[in-house]
Amino acid sequence: MFIEERHAQILEMLSRDGKVLVKELAEKFGVTEDSIRKDLSTLELDGKLKRTYGGAVSIEEKLQMTEANRRRVSDVEAKRKIAAAAVKLMQPQDLIFLDISTISIAVAQILEKSNANYKILTNMVDVLVMLARNPKIELFFAGGLINRSRDGFSDGLNLEFISRFRPDVAFIGAFGVDIKKNSLTSRDTAGGIHKARMIEVSKTTYVIAESRKIGVEGAYSFAKLGDVNGLIIETQLPDDLTAAAEKLGVRIITAE
């Protein structure tokens, strides 16, 4: 096999799987691991992949990982405050839905150490991993097609599963919260459709969002702000926005 053919097959595997391993490629092509490392170095120089320890990931995969990690480390203190306020609204006998949101990770960090018998439904991988460590938590989770940049599942298969539940309380993340326009928006349609459905089936819903998201508008409008019961935010809103929210029947919970 010519080197060019091997390179083409490596890129095809990357496109399909998102990553490749040196050892597996060496076995597949019947060449040394050093030969594969040279292949990956060449392809990296051509801007076609990103090398990692023991293998490589696609450029798209690398960008997704970078974006997900960036969101995790931004506004950490605000997310902790909002998470603490959210936990205070939970009752152990209730079924709680935690949406794909970095604030949900902060909530899970609190619940992971709790001695209460919470019941949690989620479609976020990080939340699953953390809460699975606590034997007192009854945990519901379904897979599907993973959205790597969002660290969770937001495809039709997952939607069909979580739609069967009727959560007592749902905590929903949002890319943008425009109080004056009565609008909640997401970055993508798949995630937005999930959020809208959980608002529809849950008995009580709170939007969890940092103050920097107020007045921001994402690409997809998934619900009206007036469709939810409350907004949990880390700082006091201006009086005009608080009044506008209250007019919509939305309770503003300041997590200061």
Mean pLDDT of 123-134: 91
pLDDT band at residue 221 using 50, 70 and 90 as cut-offs? very high
* Closest among 131, 208, 193, 185 to 157, alpha carbons compared: 193
Q: Are 99 and 193 part of one and the same domain?
A: yes
Predicted confidence at residue 71, as pLDDT, reads 53
Q: Are 42 and 83 part of one and the same domain?
A: no
| Residue 174 structural domain | 75-254
Position 63 in a domain: no
For the segment 64-113, what is each residue's pLDDT rounded down to a tens digit?
Answer: 555 555 555 556 889 999 999 999 999 998 999 999 999 999 999 999 99
What CATH number does the domain containing 28 carry?
A: 1.10.10.10
Distance (Å, rounded) from C-alpha 119 to C-alpha 100? 17
Positive or negative torsion for Cα 208, 126, 160, 204: negative
pLDDT higher than 80, residue 60: no
Distance (Å, rounded) from C-alpha 19 to C-alpha 230? 41
Q: Are 82 and 41 part of one and the same domain?
A: no
E strand spans, 88-145:
95-98, 119-122, 138-141
pLDDT band at residue 53 using 50, 70 and 90 as cut-offs? confident
Q: Are 13 and 87 part of one and the same domain?
A: no
CA angle 66, 69, 71 (to 5 degrees): 110
How far from each other are the two terminal CA atoms of the chain, in whole angstroms? Answer: 64
Comparing 3-12, 49-58, 125-134, 236-245, the range with the smallest average pLDDT is 49-58
Percent of the chain's residues with pLDDT above 90: 66
Q: What is the number of domains present in the chain?
A: 2
Mean pLDDT of 204-226: 95
Q: Are 49 and 16 part of one and the same domain?
A: yes
